[in-house]
């Protein structure tokens, strides 16, 4: 591949996560060839045009068929992401999608087959790791041995419901896959990554509707227990962030190591230090707070390197689909109404 800037297209503008997929790639020197204006949420499109007024709308088929485009990024309705990814890979393009990458095991198999047959990269931008500077700091500390070997994780993913502004598909489990597929894929990714596990066993999972009885099929609470050969993980996700919290969720990650602990308060330190990206380290040397707000994000530059070098530095080969498969299996197996099985 020549030294020209890599070119990408945005197809599937249904979720606001498309903003950081596009924005971070542009910041790392990639060139956006255009975006497909098809959307299920006009507010997402309005926000996109406000952030990227220089970009042009292009017919979807034209973007797929353009041989000069190297990458397709996608934040479509979750059930539509697999088909877009498969078409893009079969058109000779690498793919970066928002989580979840798929909503069914059949879709996972389709993506897996397309990636294997085409040799293209399929990557999921797990934003709660890749767009969080506290996670970059924790990754460095774990690699340096600051807490020894990570043997357990607790990942908490609370979100604000913002019911009045959600599109219709948000409340359709078939469209977004369910709460464990939609949100908990973040925490599954972090469990595998920080423990170094190649895979995991689903021990138990549950989902429930605790606060939205007028939408009986909707799930606003979920939890998962995972286990690998050397570690275990607990995950809790929910839609109960109170309106008084000045951010969309108090996302936290706890890492238990053989020689210490790390706590990440990603988005807020309640009634404590201002700002985001707080890391608390406890080990044999004592206890300290680390302001990680200046850490460099690495996923996007590594992804672009991988496209050029046909490498896997941003994400191990198969990791994205392993996470997705575990999330779907947890959703399928989940006990509904409380109590895990």
What SS3 state is found at 196? coil
pLDDT in tens, 326-341: 999 999 999 998 666 5
pLDDT band at residue 112 using 50, 70 and 90 as cut-offs: very high
Do the Cβ atoms of 234 and 224 come closer than 8 Å? yes
Q: Which domains does the chain have, with CATH numbers?
A: 7-125 (3.40.50.720), 131-296+329-336 (3.30.360.10)
Cα separation values, 287 from 20, 196, 234, 258, Å: 33, 25, 24, 16
The mean pLDDT value of the chain amounts to 96
pLDDT band at residue 2 using 50, 70 and 90 as cut-offs: low
pLDDT in tens, 161-194: 999 999 999 999 999 999 999 999 999 999 999 9
Q: What span, in angstroms and rounded, lies between the C-alpha atoms of 234 and 232? A: 7
Q: Residues near 321 by Cβ (< 8 Å), separated by ≥ 6? A: 101, 102, 108, 111, 112, 122
Question: Residue 337 burial (CB < 10 Å; 0-12/13-18/19+)?
Answer: exposed
pLDDT in tens, 190-235: 999 999 999 999 999 999 999 999 998 999 999 999 999 999 999 9
What pTM did the predictor assign?
0.96
**Mode of pairing for the β-strands spanning 7-13 and 71-75:** parallel
The runs of H, that is alpha helices, within the chain are 18-27, 42-51, 60-65, 78-90, 105-118, 127-130, 133-143, 173-176, 179-182, 185-195, 299-309, 319-333
């Amino acid at each position: 591949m020549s030294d020209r800037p890599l070119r990408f297209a945005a197809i599937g503008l249904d979720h606001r996560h498309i903003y950081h997929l596009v924005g971070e790639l542009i910041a790392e020197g990639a060139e956006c060839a255009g975006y497909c204006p098809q959307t299920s949420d006009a507010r997402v499109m309005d926000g996109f045009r406000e952030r990227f007024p220089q970009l042009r709308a292009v017919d979807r088929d034209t973007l797929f068929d353009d041989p000069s485009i190297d990458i397709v990024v996608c934040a479509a309705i979750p059930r539509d992401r697999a088909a877009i990814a498969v078409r893009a890979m079969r058109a000779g393009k690498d793919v970066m999608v928002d989580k979840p990458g798929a909503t069914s095991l059949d879709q996972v198999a389709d993506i897996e087959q397309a990636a294997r047959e085409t040799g293209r990269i399929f990557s999921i931008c797990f934003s709660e790791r890749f767009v969080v500077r506290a996670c970059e700091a924790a990754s460095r500390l774990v690699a340096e041995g600051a807490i020894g070997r990570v043997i357990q994780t607790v990942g908490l993913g609370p979100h604000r419901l913002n019911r009045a502004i959600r599109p219709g598909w948000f409340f359709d489990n078939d469209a977004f896959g369910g709460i464990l597929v939609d949100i908990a894929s973040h925490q599954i990714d972090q469990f595998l990554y920080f423990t170094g596990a190649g895979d995991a066993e689903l021990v138990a999972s549950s989902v429930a509707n605790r606060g939205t009885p007028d939408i009986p099929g909707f799930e606003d609470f979920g939890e998962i227990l995972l286990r690998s050969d050397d570690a275990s993980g607990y995950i809790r996700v929910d839609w109960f962030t109170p309106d008084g919290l000045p951010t969309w969720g108090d996302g936290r990650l706890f890492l238990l190591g053989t020689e210490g602990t790390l706590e990440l308060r990603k988005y807020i330190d309640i009634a404590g230090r201002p700002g985001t990206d707080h890391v608390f380290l406890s080990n044999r040397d004592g206890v300290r707070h680390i302001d990680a707000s200046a850490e460099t994000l690495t996923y996007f530059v590594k992804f672009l390197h991988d496209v050029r070098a046909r490498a896997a530095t941003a994400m191990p080969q198969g990791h994205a689909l392993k996470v997705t498969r575990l999330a779907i299996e947890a959703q399928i197996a989940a006990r509904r109404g409380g109590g895990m099985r």
